[in-house]
Amino acid sequence: KIKTYKRQVEEAEEIAAINLAKFR
pLDDT of residue 20: 95
- To 10 degrees, the CA torsion angle through 17, 22, 19, 15? -60
3-state secondary structure 1-24: CHHHHHHHHHHHHHHHHHHHHHHC
In terms of phi and psi (left: phi > 0; alpha: psi -120 to 50; beta: otherwise), the region of 12 is alpha
- What is the C-alpha to C-alpha distance for residues 21 and 24, in angstroms, rounded to an integer? 5
Residue 10's pLDDT is what?
96
**Amino acid 7: pLDDT:** 95
Fill in the amino acid letter for 16: A
Q: What is the pLDDT of residue 23?
A: 85
Give tens-digit pLDDT for 1-24.
789 999 999 999 999 999 999 988
Identify the pLDDT of residue 1.
75
Residue 22's pLDDT is 92
